Amino acid sequence: MGKLDNRVAIVTGAAQGIGRAIAGKLVEEGATVVVADLNGDGAAKAAEELGGVAVQADVSVEADAQKIVDTTLERHGRVDVLVHAAAIVPFVPWDEVDFAYWRKIVSVNLDGTYLVGRAVEKPMRAAGYGRIVNIASNSFFAGTPNMGPYVAAKGGVIGLTRVQATELGKYGITSNAVAPGIIRSEGALATPHKDSFDFVQALQALPRHGHPADIAPAVSFLASEESGWVTGQTLVVDAGHIRD
């Protein structure tokens, strides 16, 4: 018996990295997973490995966000869980951010959270049950440099999570955020963030590098029925880097 037996979960950004590890954990706990990602080939590969369905979609495009939910309902007839992990992890100094890039990051990292959350809450509301887990970042609390639009968008994700909790609680839907610390995902390792792991490790209570699998158990708890008295919260999962 897994704590997600018979549950259908959408995981965005699940072609690689933290989203992929979360999708794997949810399947281990009994869920059927829909892998939604901009990277269609990566989504198809992950879905094949996980025995799930893949949807190629850009979460910052309204019709694509709706397509993720519609495909899930067509294939499985229900959606119990949304884990929204899709995001761009940029590395850009404050004085090099131009407005077009700012808009791009905010559009994918914050608008996407709104669009997929709005599409999924309708069937969840009709069913009287839902679990939304939005992936934020501890960089919001740390004010991490070289990530201006990202940090601002992740603050928005935490704010939106609280609003979802407040407005959707009466329909049996919880919404929580998980805020990872720096993690050795494909995305992070492809940027200058790859050189920050030892520095950040020195700030952590637990002295080792973080991996995508370190984030998945917290998400699986919040995605399960047993987290039913927890909503509107942000769980920081970062080896004790942020401690306030």
Binding residues for ligand NAD, rule: CB under 6 A, are 12-13, 15-19, 37-39, 42, 57-60, 85-89, 108, 112, 135, 137, 180, 182-183, 185-188
From its phi and psi, is residue 143 left (phi > 0), alpha (psi between -120 and 50) or beta?
A: left
Over 151-214, what HEC string results? HHHHHHHHHHHHHHHHHHHHHCEEEEEEEECCECCHHHHCCHHHHCHHHHHHHCCCCCCECHHH
Q: Give the separation between CA 30 and CA 5, rounded to whole angstroms.
A: 4
CB of 5 to ligand NAD, least distance (A): 26
CB of 17 to ligand NAD, least distance (A): 2
Catalytic residues: 150
Which residue, 129 or 141, is less far from ligand NAD as judged by CB?
A: 141
Q: Give the separation between CA 74 and CA 67, rounded to whole angstroms.
A: 10
Which residue, 13 or 156, is less far from ligand NAD as judged by CB?
A: 13
Which residue, 16 or 227, is less far from ligand NAD as judged by CB?
A: 16
CB of 68 to ligand NAD, least distance (A): 9
CB of 76 to ligand NAD, least distance (A): 20
Output the residue with the shortest Cβ distance to ligand NAD. 187
Which residue, 11 or 129, is less far from ligand NAD as judged by CB?
A: 11
